[in-house]
Structure 1
Amino acid sequence: MPESPSATAPTSRLPSLTGLRFAAALLVFGVHAYSFIPVGGFAHDVGHLLLDPGDLGVSFFFVLSGFVLTWAARGGSARPLGRFFAGRVLRIYPAYVVALGLAVASKWVGDLADPIGNRMNQVNGHNLTTSLFLVQAWYPDDVTYLGINPVAWSLSCEIAFYAAFPLLLPLLRRLTGRALGGAAAFFVVLGLLMPLIAHAFVDPAFQRWFVYILPVTRCVEFALGITLALLVRSGAWRGPGLPLASALFTANYLIVNLLPHQVRDTAAVLATTALLIPAAATADLTGARSIWRHPVLVRLGDASYAFFLVHLTIVTTTMTILGRSHDYPAWQAMSLGIGLLVVSYAVALPLHRYVEAPAMRLLRRRPRPPIPAQRSRQPEQIGVS
C-alpha cells in the first residue's frame, strides 16, 4: 500500500511540480511569441486557440508559489523570518538583476533598429527605480508596471506574497479537514469574482490593473496555493488523479477564449489549476506515473525562472530587428518561434547555472545555530526538537 501523502509531505521534493513549471513557462512564452510574430489566416486562428491564453500560466505560477513555499516550511510553519526573507531575495534577485541589465541593453539595440521605440519598454529614472525595487505592480499605469522588462510585474507580486506568507500560513494552518477544503473553494470563487468587484468599485481606467496586476488581488491565488499544500500534507486532499486533472486543465485552457474577457484574463483556469497542482504532488508522493517527473522536463523546469526572465527580451528585440510590418508565412513564423525558444533557453540555462543556483547555495552554506548540549538524556527529552 503506498504511503499516505501526509507521511512524506515534509521532506519530498515533488519533481512533477518542477516539470510543470516548464509547461507553465512554455505557455507564457507561447503567448508572447504569438503576440510579436505577425501571422495571418488559418495559422493565426490556430495560434489564437493554442497560444493566446498562455498568459494564464502566470496564474499557475502564483498558485504554485504558495504551494511550494508551504511545502518547504518545516513542521508546517515558516522558517525564521530573517532566514526566510534572505532565502527569497537570493532566490529571485541576482538572476533578476542580470536579466534587467539584459533588458536595458536590448532597449539600446532596439532603439538602433527602431528609433521610434516602444513606450512600454523605455528606460528612465522612474522605471529603473521601480524595477530595481520590484514595486512596479503597485502603480496603475501600464508604462510603469510594464516598464523595461514587462514580465517583471509578476515578480513585484511575488515580493508582496513573500511579505504576506508569514501572516497567511499561521492563519490557514488553524483550519483542518473540511474547513481547509472550504477555504480552497472560497479562494477559487473569490478569484472568479474579482472582475465583478472591479466593475462595481474601480474606475474603468484601472480595472485591468486591479484585476490582473495588483499584488493584493493576485494574492488570492497565492493563498489558494498555501491552502492546497496544507490539504495535501494533512492527507485531507480528495481530488482527481493526475491524468483526469490534466485533461480537465487542458479542456479548460482550450475554451477560455469563449469566456467573457474579464474572466478570461484573470481566473479562467483557477479551478482546474487547483486540481492539477495537488494531483501532481500526490502522484509523486504515492509513486503514481507522471510524465512531469521526466529528467529533461525537471531540468528545464529548474531553469524556468531564468527562462521567464529573459524570453520576452529576446522575443521583442529579435522582432524589432526583423520587423513586424508584415505577416510571416506559417512555416516561417513557426521556425522563428522555435528558434526564439531555443535561444531563450540557451541564455536561461547558464543564467540558472552560474547566477541563480550559486546564489541559492549561499544560504545553504550559512552555518546553522549550534544545538545546545544536553546535560542528560532524560526519557521525556528524547524526540523533542
Structure 2
Amino acid sequence: MPDSPRAATAPRLPSLTGLRFAAALLVFGVHAYSFIPVGGFAHDLGHLLLDPGDLGVSFFFVLSGFVLTWAARGDGPAPGRGLGRFFAGRFLRIYPAYLVALALAVASKWVGDLIDPVGNRMNQVNGHNLTTSVFLVQAWFPDDVTYLGINPVAWSLSCEIAFYAAFPLLYPLLRHLAGRALAVAAIGLVALGLLMPLIAHLWVDPDYQRWFVYILPVTRGVEFALGIALALLVRSGAWRGPGLPVATGLFVANYLAVNLLPHQVRDTAAVLATTALLIPAAATADLTGARSVWRHPALVRLGDASYAFFLVHLTIITTVMTYLGRSHDYPAWQAVPLGLGFLVVSYAVAMPLHRYVEAPAMRLLRRRRRPAAIPAPRAPQPDRVGVG
C-alpha cells in the first residue's frame, strides 16, 4: 500500500516501514497459497500460516491513517500548502507506479490469452474494467468482476483514494478530541470494525455482504479512521499500550487463531484489535529508542519497495501459473521453491519500479513540501488516558 512513514518529516518511524514489508509478505503468501495447488500436510500448513494473509490489507489501512496523520500538522492535512497541493501529493504517491503496474497487468492478460485462449479468467480486460481501474473506482461496484478487474489487488487502492478524499474532514474532527475522548473514539472504532459483519448480516443483501464487509471503501474507512486516532494518541503522549515485543506476540497469536473464527468476522476484523496495538507500539519504540527488529536496514529497504511489490506480485503469480497450469496439486518440494521464486521475481520487478518510478515521484513530492518539525510526544497529563 502506498503510504510510507519515510515520507513524513522527522522524527522518522523506520519500524513502520519494516512492518510494511511484513504485511506485504502476508498478502503475497495468501496469493501464492491460493494459486499454487498443494495437498496433504502442505495444504494444512499453508492454511494455518498463509491463508489469513489477506488480513495484511487491514494492517495497511490502519497504517495509512497513522502515517498521514503523523505527517500532518495544524488544523488541516497540509498546512501552508492547501488542499490542492495535498491531493497533488497523493496523486504523485499512488499513480505513477500504479499506472506502470496496470500496464504490466494488461500485458499479462494478453500473454494469458495466448497461453490459454479459452480460459475463464474473471479479471479480463474490457472497457468497463479498464475505465474503473484507471480511475480507481472499482471498489464502489459490488460485482467481483469489476472490483477484481485486471489487477485484483488494486481494489484496495480504490479504498485509499476514498480515504485521501475523507482525510481533510476526519483529521480536524479527531484532532480536536481530548486525550480521554480520543481514546474512547479509538476503542469505538475497533468495536465498530468488529460489528461490521453483524451490520452486513442484518441490513445488507446476502449477495453483497462480502463486498460490503471486505471491499466497500466506506466500511474499510473505519480502519483508516482508527489509524488517525492512534497517531494522535501517540503524538500527544496519551498512548498507553504494551511494548513492541508483547504487541508483536499478541498479533502473531491472533493471526494464527484467525481461521478458528467465524468467516464473517475472520474476513476483515479478525486482527484489528492487535493491529491497533502493534502499530503504536512500533512507533513508540522508534520514538523512545527501544529495541526493534523492524528497524533493521534490510527490512526497511524491503519495506520501502513494498508498495511496488504489492502492485506487481499477483500479476507475476497469475501469469506464470497460467503457463504452468493449476489442474493438479504440486508436491511441497515443487510448491515451496515455486513460491520463493515468485517472491524473488516480484521483488526483482518491484525494486526498479520503486527506484525509477515511485522514488522520483516522491522526490518531486518532497521538493513541493515545506519542511516542518514534528515535536516529540508530550508527557501525558493527568486527565489523559490511552488505549490498552
TM-score w.r.t. structure 1 length?
0.92
Match of 2:328, SS?
coil
Match of 1:215 in 2: 217
Which whole-Å CA distance do the structure 2 matches of 1:167 and 1:46 have between them? Answer: 44
Shift of 1:191: 0.3
Aligned pair in 2 of structure 1 residues 97, 142: CA closer, same or farther (>3 Å)?
Answer: same
C-alpha distance in structure 2 between counterparts of 1:17 and 1:274, whole Å: 13
Change (3 A) 1:368 1:302: closer
Q: Write out per-residue CA displacement over residues 48-97 of structure 1, whole angstroms, 9 at most, x where no aligned residue.
A: 00000000000000000000000001346410211110110000100000
Q: 1:198 to 1:124 in 2, by over 3 A?
A: same
Q: 1:93 aligns with which of 92, 95, 98?
A: 95
What amino acid sits opposite 1:31 in the alignment? V
| 2:270 counterpart of 1:268 | yes
Cα distance change, pair 172–307 in 1 and its aligned pair in 2 (3 A): same
| Structure 2 Cα separation of the partners of residues 222 and 78 of structure 1 | 14
C-alpha displacement of 1:360: 1.4
Aligned to 1:317: 319
Residue 122 of structure 2: SS of its match in structure 1? helix
Is residue 248 of structure 2 the alignment partner of residue 246 of structure 1?
yes
Q: CA deviation at 1:266?
A: 1.0
Classify the secondary structure of the residue corresponding to 1:70. helix
Map 1:101-250 → 2, pairs under 5 A: 101-250=103-252
- Structure 2: gaps (5+ residues): 1-7, 372-388
Q: CA deviation at 1:364?
A: 2.7
The number of residue pairs the alignment matches comes to 361
Q: Which amino acid in 2 is paired with 1:85?
A: F
Contact 1:10–1:233 (Cα < 8 Å) also in 2: no
Cα deviations by residue, 1:106-133 (Å, 9 ceiling, x for unpaired): 0011111111234322000000000000
- Work out the CA distance in 2 between the residues paired with 1:352 and 1:341: 16
Match of 2:53 in 1: 54
Query: Counterpart amino acid of 1:15?
Result: P
Please give the secondary structure, in 1, of the residue aligned with 2:125.
coil
Aligned to 2:376: none
Q: Give the CA deviation at 1:208.
A: 0.3
Task: Give CA-to-partner distance per residue, 1:221-269, whole Å, 9 cap, x none.
Answer: 0000000000000000000000000000000000000000000001100
- Contact kept, 8 Å, 1:66 with 1:226, in 2: the verdict is yes
> What stretches of structure 1 of length at least 5 have no aligned partner?
1-8, 370-385
* Structure with bigger gyration radius: 1
Q: Which amino acid aligns with 1:197?
A: I
Alignment of 1:66-81 (within 5 A): 66-75=65-74, 77-79=76-78, 80-81=82-83
Report the identity percentage.
Answer: 87
**What letter is aligned with 1:363?**
L
Q: TM-score when scaled to structure 2?
A: 0.91
CA distance in 1, matches of 2:327, 2:183: 51
Q: Which amino acid aligns with 1:105?
A: A
CA RMSD of aligned residues (A): 1.3
- Work out which of the residue numbers 290, 293, 300 in structure 2 matches 1:291: 293
